[in-house]
Structure 1
Amino acid sequence: MLNIRFNDLAAAALGALSEVIPLDRLAPGLREMIADGVELAGEVVTLGGIPAWAGRPPGRQADLTGWECYVSSFHLEDHLPIKVGTLPDGEPVISEADQILMLRHGLGFAVEIAKAAPVPVRCVVGANSTNGTFRFHRARPGETWLHADLDGYRPEKMIVVDRGPATLGGTPW
């Protein structure tokens, strides 16, 4: 089962554009990551295997979910033709149109990762005026890195893609 949730900001930003971008129209860098596969290494799930810099799970993270989020996290603007401006104080700034582009590609990428994963997963896509991020982790009972209310992440536009049962062992993810 695939479950896609949007917070209000993401739903309003995407509007009728919330359809999923198919694999062949995703940004080349995202397609390359999908081509590397999603692997199960012991109890953790990763993109294309565990990178050498990641160390053994859970490393410095509190749990395996935290380790997976750390290892799988990347900036969407690094893989898309996004113009990142700079405010006078040095803070990056990304237009609303480019935030929507990041959300659309992030959603398409999340759906492809969820389909390719050998175990139930949760993919999290976020975009705001300074960056866009993607991360994912294996769905485990009692471990989540999200608040139940996605609207609490303001000013972040959030999309969550879950693949697997809505509950694992009776415990909501």
Structure 2
Amino acid sequence: MLNVRLNDLAVQALGPSVAAIPRDRLASGLREMIADGVVLTGEVITLGGIPGWAGRPPGRQADLTGWECFVSNFHLEDHLPIEVGSLPDGEPVISEADQVLMLRHGLGFALEIASAAPVPVRCVVGANRTNGTFRFHRARPGETWLHEDLDAYGQEKLITVDRGPATLGGTPW
């Protein structure tokens, strides 16, 4: 089962057409990450294996889900042709149009990860006026990285892509 959820800010930003960027039109850096595959090593899932800097799970994280989110986290603006401006104090600023571009690429990437993952997963795409992020983790009973109410994230536009059963062992993700 595939489940895509958006908070209200993401729906407003994307408008009536919540279209993902198809794989062949994803930014080259995102296509390269997909080409490395999604790997299950023991109980953890990562892109292209576990990076050397990650350490053994769960490392300093509270649980395996937190570790996977830490290891899989990257900034979408680092891989897309967008303009990142800055305020006088140095804070980055990304236009609404570029935030939408990050959401569409992030959604397309999330759909690719979800289809390639050998176990149930949750992908999280976020964008706001300072950055865009992507991360994913294996779906586990009793462990989640998000609040159930996606609108609770203030000014963050959020999309989640879940692949797998709606519940695992009777426990919601």
Whole-Å Cα distance in 1 between the matches of residues 129 and 70 of structure 2? 22
Who is 2:7 aligned against?
Answer: 7
Where structure 2 has 5 or more consecutive residues not aligned to the other structure, the ranges are: none
Amino acid at match of 1:160: T
Q: Secondary structure at the match of 1:45?
A: strand
Question: Deviation per CA, 1:51-77, whole angstroms, max 9, x where unpaired?
Answer: 000000000000000000000000000
The TM-score, its normalising length taken from structure 2, stands at 0.99
1:106-145 mapped onto 2 (5 Å cutoff): 106-145=106-145
Whole-Å Cα distance in 2 between the matches of residues 90 and 156 of structure 1? 20
Whole-Å Cα distance in 2 between the matches of residues 34 and 72 of structure 1? 12
Who is 1:90 aligned against?
Answer: 90
Whole-Å Cα distance in 2 between the matches of residues 16 and 24 of structure 1? 23
Amino acid at match of 2:6: F
Who is 1:57 aligned against?
Answer: 57
**Matched pairs, number:** 173
Amino acid at match of 2:76: L
Whole-Å Cα distance in 1 between the matches of residues 20 and 132 of structure 2? 17
| Range moving further from structure 2, 37-46 or 13-22 | 13-22
Who is 1:19 aligned against?
Answer: 19
Amino acid at match of 1:37: G
Identity %: 83
1:29 aligns with 2:29: yes
Amino acid at match of 1:68: E
1:42 aligns with 2:39: no
Whole-Å Cα distance in 1 between the matches of residues 116 and 22 of structure 2? 14
Report how far residue 16 of structure 1 moved.
Answer: 2.9
Whole-Å Cα distance in 2 between the matches of residues 12 and 170 of structure 1? 33
Whole-Å Cα distance in 2 between the matches of residues 42 and 82 of structure 1? 37
Amino acid at match of 2:87: L
Report how far residue 20 of structure 1 moved.
Answer: 2.1
Q: Secondary structure at the match of 1:17?
A: coil
